[in-house]
Amino acid sequence: MEVAYLTLFSIAFLAATILPFSSEVVLAGLSATSGEKIPLLVVASFGNVLGSSFNWVLGKYTRNLETKKWFPFSINQLQKASFWFTKYGKWSLLFAWLPIIGDPLTFIAGVVRLRFVPFLIFVTIGKVSRYILIIIGVDWIVDSTE
């Protein structure tokens, strides 16, 4: 089972970056075949929040590179994203688990220099809630098919 936890952690971490991984599918599969839900929740959540924290660090410390030609975002894109993030604020981080917009949200939170503790609280609430719902949903499906 240790390999399963390491795999879940790794995929959850990578899924929180811009890489196209789906931690939900792995968590659902492991949840359906394991009786131990809490360790799965903790491992997936820790990996996913750590991956989002990595995005925050990238956003915070790469801001001074935005004028480089090779930087993947234009100054205009960063300003527009910063405007929207500032408008909707840290509450938007409750949706950091959403596909497509979640990873950039965590990056922009670092770009606008949102303090880490509020970032961590809101991202954790959103991501843990999503994983809890997945585990409950899988349990309901498994129970209804028995």
pLDDT band at 75 (very low <50, low <70, confident <90, very high): confident
Per residue in 83-110, pLDDT tens?
A: 888 888 899 999 999 988 898 899 989 9
Of 39, 37, 46, residue with least CA distance to 9: 46
Inter-residue long-range contacts of 16-21, CB under 8 Å, 24+ positions, other chains counted: 16/47, 16/48, 16/49, 16/50, 16/51, 16/52, 16/54, 16/55, 16/96, 16/102, 16/103, 16/106, 16/127, 17/51, 17/54, 17/55, 17/103, 18/103
CA dihedral 13, 99, 141, 9 (to 10 degrees): 0
Mean pLDDT value of segment 46-65: 92
